[in-house]
Amino acid sequence: MKILFSTDSTADFSKELLDQYNIPVLPLYVEKGGAMYRDGVDITVKDIFEYVGAGNPICTTAALNIADYQDFFTKYASEYDAIIHTTISTGFSSCYQNAVIAAEDFDNVHVVNSMNLSTGIALVVLKGIEYAKEGLAPAEIADKMRAVTEKVESSFIINTLAYLAKGGRCSAVTALGANLLKLRPVIEVQDGKMQVGKKFRGAYDRCVVNYVTERLKDRDDIDQSRIFITHAHCDPALVAEVRKVVEENGSFAEILETTAGCSISSHCGPDTLGVLFVRK
């Protein structure tokens, strides 16, 4: 059976993985300076960081609308026996609701709410591709993917609260205090929404290494098939150190590195880094 797995730009897939698995991506919208752009198409993370770094307000993201999904599904519905499209969590965007409405016009489109963001979405999609190789029917694959969403563990450590403060997600006073104390909060996805987890303190590189170590050390409940290291243009030396920590604290078949797209980056800022994986 010919099944197409698709997702939105919020999944933060690398180009290599998209090409390898033939996964088309719909870009979300990014508002910058009163103009609207398409995530990863006519605006990049570098553009956002330079714009905000110059003292401008943060950029915001907007969901794909129903017509966007209708056009996309129309393009592929006749070419494939089924389309399984996975969206960012309903806790962050209306993409899922809009995709579901659009899918009502097709009898071979299944929409999965990832309950996640970034490569937490990618983990769900890749599991779906594995299920398809087992020969399961599209509806069953989609159901099994929904079950996987409850096992995805997504978190990021943030270097600065400046972006969250500009976006109104924390106060300027809180951000200033955190910066003065060198506090590096961890953002976790819980029940499809972002929550603040542990706060590390000190030099950022050391905090990152400690964060990754604590996430993985002495865990026997992690699916060792793959793990993502996803970051917002971190220093390559730091990413290499994180990879070393991952290798020392697991036996993952795949350690996949990707850079965060405009959605994560516009809210969390530069140097954000996360490790994302699936529990058994």
25-51: pLDDT as tens digits: 999 999 999 999 999 999 999 999 999
By mean pLDDT, which of 56-65, 160-169, 250-259 is the weakest? 160-169
Domain span at residue 248?
152-279
Q: In this structure, what CATH number is given to the domain that contains residue 8?
A: 3.40.50.10170
263 and 169 both lie in a single domain: yes
Place of tokens 């793959």: 226
In a domain, 188, yes or no: yes
The average pLDDT across 153-182 equals 61
Q: In this structure, what CATH number is given to the domain that contains residue 227?
A: 3.30.1180.10
124 and 226 both lie in a single domain: no
By mean pLDDT, which of 121-125, 176-180, 213-217 is the weakest? 176-180
203 and 258 both lie in a single domain: yes
In a domain, 172, yes or no: yes
Overall domain count for the chain: 2
Measured between alpha carbons, how far is residue 186 from residues 87, 158, 203 in Å?
23, 6, 15
**Which pLDDT value is given to residue 183?**
78
Coil, strand or helix: which one is 80?
coil
251 and 163 both lie in a single domain: yes
Q: State which of 149, 184, 209 marks the end of a domain.
A: 149
Per the prediction, the chain carries an average pLDDT of 91
**Which pLDDT value is given to residue 220?**
96
| Residue 142, number of CB atoms within 10 A of its CB | 20
**Which pLDDT value is given to residue 168?**
46
134 and 22 both lie in a single domain: yes
In a domain, 52, yes or no: no
Could you tell me the two tokens for 147? 């079950």
**Which pLDDT value is given to residue 174?**
44
237 and 253 both lie in a single domain: yes
Q: What is the 3-state secondary structure (H, E, C) of 113-153?
A: ECCCCCHHHHHHHHHHHHHHHCCCCHHHHHHHHHHHHCCEE
174 and 133 both lie in a single domain: no
Place of tokens 């309950």: 115
**Which pLDDT value is given to residue 241?**
98
Q: Strand 35-38 to strand 25-26: parallel, antiparallel, or no bridges (unpaired)?
A: unpaired
pLDDT range class, residue 162, cuts 50, 70, 90: low
In a domain, 34, yes or no: no
**Which pLDDT value is given to residue 161?**
72
Q: What is the pTM of this model?
A: 0.93
19 and 112 both lie in a single domain: yes
144 and 195 both lie in a single domain: no
How many Å apart are CA 90 and CA 115, to the nearest integer? Answer: 7
In a domain, 131, yes or no: yes
- Reported residue count of the chain is 280
Q: Quick check: 103 pLDDT over 90?
A: yes
Q: State which of 91, 115, 149 marks the end of a domain.
A: 149
In a domain, 112, yes or no: yes
- Per DSSP, 28 falls in state P
pLDDT range class, residue 179, cuts 50, 70, 90: low
Q: State which of 93, 125, 149 marks the end of a domain.
A: 149
In a domain, 223, yes or no: yes
* Cβ(224)–Cβ(216) below 8 Å: no
132 and 169 both lie in a single domain: no
How many Å apart are CA 89 and CA 10, to the nearest integer? Answer: 10
Q: Quick check: 182 pLDDT over 80?
A: no
In a domain, 120, yes or no: yes
99 and 169 both lie in a single domain: no
268 and 167 both lie in a single domain: yes
